[in-house]
Amino acid sequence: MVRESLLNAENAVLREVVRAGDYWLKEIKKGQTFRILDLEGNQAADTLFYNADDPSERYSATDTVREQRNLYLTVGSQLRSNLNNVMLEIVADTCGRHDTIGGACATESNTVRYSLEKRCMHACRDSWMLALAEHEHLGISKRDITHNINFFMNVPVTRDGGLTFADGISAPGKYVELRACMNVIVLISNCPQLNNPCNAYNPTPIEVLVWN
């Protein structure tokens, strides 16, 4: 479902470009809204969410899918935690569909899916691990890296229940906007994957905007 935002970029309190392959980690306060903007199109933003006041509470794909009775995320989706609390709500979306079942790329999955020599290639999990190592004070560790959302990524489920990593449905300038329903830590890996069409084989920058 597509719904455009009423917010004006000129009023944003923060605007940051995240280069392909970099991470973005920030706290978003309850009531703030943030936008992930696909600057050049066909880019995947692999994102984790934690309760900033107690990071042992974090985003749960199973709770989210069960409560909304739909596999895909778009406007109106409430992103739930492992305690079934609503963490964020998608309030605008010009892409129309986001994935939360495909998981994130890792050197191990690159090896299994593609080939042994792909193991040394940069993957989202490495970006998250680097982010957590550089922000030890948050108290989030490797074991807290669990369910994620792949914003802008297209993972349709076949009639037989299979997952397919399809060509992206995003395009330059498309965005998704979320309002925080609690204080949340947002950790985005701007996906460096080169082996499947989720980034159109060409990882590109995104921009993150925040409004009060």
Q: Does 155 bind Zn ion (CB under 5 A)?
A: no
Q: Does 105 bind Zn ion (CB under 5 A)?
A: yes
If 0-12 CB within 10 Å is exposed, 13-18 middle and 19+ buried, where does residue 128 land? Answer: buried
Q: Please list the residues that pair with 190 across neighbouring strands.
A: 45
Q: Are strands 86-93 and 78-80 parallel, antiparallel or unpaired?
A: antiparallel
Q: Does 100 bind Zn ion (CB under 5 A)?
A: no
Q: Does 73 bind Zn ion (CB under 5 A)?
A: no
Q: Does 193 bind Zn ion (CB under 5 A)?
A: yes
Nearer to Zn ion, 75 or 106 (CB): 106
CA distance linking residue 191 with residue 87, whole number of Å: 23
Nearer to Zn ion, 25 or 191 (CB): 191
Assign residue 40 a region: left if phi > 0, alpha if psi is -120 to 50, beta otherwise?
alpha
Q: Does 20 bind Zn ion (CB under 5 A)?
A: no
Q: Judged by CB under 5 A, which of 25, 36, 191, 206 binds Zn ion?
A: 191
CA distance linking residue 153 with residue 146, whole number of Å: 18
Measure the CA dihedral 196/73/205/94, to 10°: 120
Tell me which residue has tokens 């909304």: 68
Nearest distance, CB of residue 123 and Zn ion, angstroms: 6
Q: Does 92 bind Zn ion (CB under 5 A)?
A: no
Nearest distance, CB of residue 161 and Zn ion, angstroms: 23
Q: Judged by CB under 5 A, which of 65, 124, 132, 180 binds Zn ion?
A: 124
Nearer to Zn ion, 140 or 191 (CB): 191
Summarize as ranges the residues that interact with Zn ion (CB under 5 A): 46, 105, 124, 191, 193
